Amino acid sequence: MAIELRHLRYFVAVAEELHFGRAAERLNISQPPLSQQIQSLENSINAQLLERNNRNVSLTPAGNMFLEEAYQILAQVDAAVIKAARMQKGELGEISIGFTSTTPFMHKVTLSLRQFRERYPEVSIHMHQMNTKRQIAPLLTGRLDIGIMRNTQLPDNLEHRLLFRESFMLAVYDGHPLLEYAQLGIKLDMLAGHPLVFFEREVGTALYDEIVTLLAQAGVTPMISQEAGEAMTILGLVSAGLGISVVTESFTRMKVDGVQYIPLADNQSFSEVWLVNHKSRPVSAAADRLTRLLISNILNEKNE
């Protein structure tokens, strides 16, 4: 006979009550089937677990040992049931997220991550910084559950949701002559001839392409004086007077001494921030919870 969980529960009830009648009542079954099940259990394991006579029931040494093991097994099963239910609800598990170098400066995203961590501390979040185009392969293979990236061309197996749009700004150093347009905003064609600090092409692929296209539409051929791989490095180079930079609105959350931001007066273009996942591979419940929290925060901010 294969030992089933009910045999363990029957045995625990008898071992705790040391009375077949009370144990049967506790289990809501009649006494004869309970006695038969305990006897079958003993036969299956080739050990006497209980000493019984007309007056008393007591545990044998083997029964004492088996009771401790039964407690552990039943506790593990109960724990597994609880964990499975919590994972189904998204309260346990892991999430692997790809993000671009500017993502940590997007208030809507960082707020959602902080709230999710506070609400679901037992979900492990693994953040992987990589540019937009480098997120595509791990999203296809499943190494990333979701990706937060700029708008780009995606393969058919990936789908995206628009999280929000960011307007472009101009980052300049203190004393730069373009600061006289800080109140009115600056036109893109006024950037012609000014040294620019850019993302390295292989690091900020989406932003690089967007900004180059934006300048080309304004008739400006960018004069790139410096390239950098990190957002903070770009602003540091601007602060040092090595050039100015076209950046997105999220950059303005970075307060760097000697750097000021000017809005673009004639800029109707925006950089889109996407949430990307695989079309046919369902995201985990935890990733779905995070996604819904992020979208909810964005909608709430729009409505405020």
Strand blocks (E) in 116-237: 123-129, 146-150, 158-173, 195-199, 223-228
pLDDT at res. 55:
78
Contact between residue 47 and residue 66 where contact means Cβ atoms under 8 Å apart: yes
Residue 189, token pair as written in the block: 């064609």
Residue 269, token pair as written in the block: 């273009």
pLDDT for 195-205, tens place per residue?
999 888 776 56
List domains and CATH numbers for the chain.
Answer: 5-89 (1.10.10.10), 93-162+273-300 (3.40.190.10), 163-271 (3.40.190.10)
pLDDT at res. 159:
95
10-residue mean pLDDT series, the chain (304 residues)? 88 94 94 93 93 88 96 95 89 92 88 94 94 93 94 93 92 94 90 90 75 90 88 92 92 90 81 94 91 89 62
Contact between residue 107 and residue 253 where contact means Cβ atoms under 8 Å apart: yes
Buried b (16+ CB within 10 A) or exposed e, 250-268: bbbebeeeebbebbbeebe
Distances (CA, A) of 59 to 13, 40, 86, 248: 12, 16, 37, 74
At residue 38, φ and ψ (nearest 5 deg) are: -65, -40
pLDDT at res. 119:
93
